[in-house]
């Protein structure tokens, strides 16, 4: 089973499926390589750039950076690499990496009985978490290529869903069996 191709992206306006690549707090840049159907260690980042939240992707989507659409899954504990999370979409981080749009869908597990069930929109997130995410994505490549990443702002959940649907259409065009 290929995680990109064989699992649906989710259900419109209800949830997305997200596969975790990098657990919250990890310095390991782990990527899913859909061509080989494996998770690989791409690199180890400096400790100061550990991921502030879980990082993953939505199956059957394709963003403008020629990768599946990324997710930032907010939980109090780290989630394991390879875990599929049924997640509620709350917004989008509009982000550019090396001149290419590289959006991040912000979400929480659909049934998180700690704090996640009270998060329905970006406005429900702590201001400090928003600041941490902006700082992380603005600076995580500074030691290698300063200025190569730009946070362009945030979008609400309606904008996030529009992007998810656009990325699903792009995926269908790219991978359609012709």
Q: Is residue 123 part of a domain?
A: yes
Number of domains, the chain: 1
Q: Is residue 171 part of a domain?
A: yes
**DSSP label of 162:** H
Domain that holds residue 139: 10-175
Q: Is residue 5 part of a domain?
A: no
Among candidates 113, 97, 80, which has minimal Cα distance to 150? 97
Q: Say what the pTM is.
A: 0.96
Q: Is residue 1 part of a domain?
A: no
pLDDT at res. 86: 98
Q: How far is Cα 96 from Cα 56, in angstroms, rounded to an integer? A: 17
Round the CA-based radius of gyration of the chain to a whole number and report it: 15
> If you count them, how many residues does the chain have?
178
Q: Which residues of the chain have pLDDT under 70?
A: 177-178
Q: Is residue 3 part of a domain?
A: no
Q: Is residue 40 part of a domain?
A: yes
Q: Is residue 2 part of a domain?
A: no
Taking only the tens place, the pLDDT of each residue in 3-44 is: 999 999 999 999 999 999 999 999 999 999 999 999 999 999
β-pairing verdict for 84-97 and 100-101: antiparallel
β-pairing verdict for 104-109 and 70-73: parallel
| CATH code at position 106 | 3.90.80.10
Q: Is residue 4 part of a domain?
A: no
Per the CB < 8 A criterion, the answer to whether 19 and 81 are in contact is no
């Amino acid at each position: 089973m290929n995680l990109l191709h064989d699992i649906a992206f989710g259900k419109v306006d209800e949830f997305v499926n997200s596969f975790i690549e990098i657990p919250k707090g990890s310095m390991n840049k782990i990527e899913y390589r859909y061509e080989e159907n494996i998770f690989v260690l791409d690199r180890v980042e400096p400790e100061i750039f550990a991921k502030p939240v879980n990082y993953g992707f939505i199956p059957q989507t394709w963003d403008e950076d020629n990768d599946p659409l990324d997710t930032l899954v907010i939980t109090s504990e780290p989630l394991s690499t390879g875990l599929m999370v049924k997640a509620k979409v709350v917004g989008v981080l509009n982000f550019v990496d090396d001149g290419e749009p590289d959006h991040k869908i912000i979400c929480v597990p659909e049934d998180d009985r700690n704090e996640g069930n009270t998060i329905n929109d970006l406005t429900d997130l702590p201001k400090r978490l928003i600041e941490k995410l902006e700082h992380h994505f603005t600076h995580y490549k500074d030691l290698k290529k300063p200025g190569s990443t730009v946070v362009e702002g945030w979008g609400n959940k309606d904008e996030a869903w529009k992007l998810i649907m656009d990325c699903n259409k792009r995926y269908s065009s790219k991978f359609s069996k012709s």
